[in-house]
Amino acid sequence: MSLYRLKVLGLAASLAVLGATGCATKNYVRTQTTPLVEHTDQLDAKTSANNQQLHTVDENAQTGIKQAQGSADAANQNAQSASKSAADAETSAVDVVHRADSLDGVVKGLDNYKSLADVSVTFGFDKAALTKDDKDQLDTFAAQLGTQKSYILEVTGGTDSTGPAQYNYDLSQRRADAVVQYLAAKYNVAAHRFYLIGIGKDKEVAPNSTADGRKQNRRVEIQLLTNMGNTDNQTATTSQGTGR
């Protein structure tokens, strides 16, 4: 066999060995990488599923938050409406009461009425809000209103001598208004039964030269007046009915 032929055969054998080795390497790589690829694909699928679940949970949470906020807003709006209605009712009660500039203006029109009871509540300096003690006194006074059929309430607000006259007139009105609002709201006293007067510092019940005197003048006086004429008429009607 020639040397050339031996070289050719050797080269062919080398190429065969290399080919076999290459195929084995490819098979080995394929065998090792295929599970890794499959595992990666599974992880991607799980990640996608988890992301979808998170997105769904977030949407549900946002929907729940919006619904809760809507319910809270509706409840708040209802509370505000109820509060406004109550305030409007109190304001209406004060708006339609009988008002007068002085006691004389009221007394002249009340000749047929007599006083059955009275109460007086006092206020802090430059204040027009009822205290707990004021409300307790008004509660005791109002307990007798349910037994009366024909009556009115004369509500007179006053101040001490401190400050301008016009300011004190306005302050005395606000104090009288506070009493009217309380009795109208809590005891359902009809607005037409109130005769409201703000006298400012015009009529004092104690000397303004002392702190105790000024405290007594910062007051609202309430008188329960009954109609004597109506009472007499009712009595006469009852007597005539009995006679028959």
Reported in sequence order, the residue ranges of 21-171 that DSSP labels E, i.e. its strands, are 98-100, 113-122, 151-157
More confident call, 105 vs 168 = 168
> Does the pLDDT value for residue 232 go beyond 50?
no
- Round to whole Å and give the CA distance between 126 and 8: 125
Euclidean distance between the first and the last CA atom of the chain, given in angstroms as a whole number: 167
Instruction: Choose the most confident range, by mean pLDDT, from 15-19, 90-94, 144-148, 229-233.
Output: 144-148
> Which pLDDT belongs to residue 117?
94
> Does the pLDDT value for residue 194 go beyond 70?
yes
Tell me the mean pLDDT in the region 174-191: 94
User: pLDDT per residue over 148-177, tens digit each?
Assistant: 888 999 999 999 999 999 999 999 999 999
Share of the chain above pLDDT 90, in %: 39
Average pLDDT over the chain, rounded to an integer: 74
Output the DSSP codes for 197-235.
Answer: EE-TTSS-SS-TTSHHHHHHHSEEEEEEEEEHHHHHHHH
User: pLDDT per residue over 49-59, tens digit each?
Assistant: 766 776 676 67
* Domain parsing of the chain, residue ranges: 1-93, 98-235
Tell me the mean pLDDT in the region 87-109: 56
- Round to whole Å and give the CA distance between 215 and 44: 84
Residue 225: strand pairing partners? 115, 152
Which pLDDT band, with edges at 50, 70 and 90, does 239 fall under? very low
Which pLDDT band, with edges at 50, 70 and 90, does 16 fall under? low
User: pLDDT per residue over 26-49, tens digit each?
Assistant: 555 555 556 655 555 666 666 777
- Round to whole Å and give the CA distance between 208 and 198: 18
Which pLDDT band, with edges at 50, 70 and 90, does 231 fall under? very low
At residue 110, the 3 state secondary structure works out as: coil
| Residue 150 CA: distances (Å) to CA of 113, 121, 125, 136, 191 | 10, 24, 36, 24, 14
Whether residue 170 contacts residue 128, with contact meaning beta carbons closer than 8 Å, is answered with no
Which pLDDT band, with edges at 50, 70 and 90, does 79 fall under? low
Report the CATH number of the 98-235 domain. 3.30.1330.60
> Does the pLDDT value for residue 126 go beyond 60?
yes
> Which pLDDT belongs to residue 119?
96
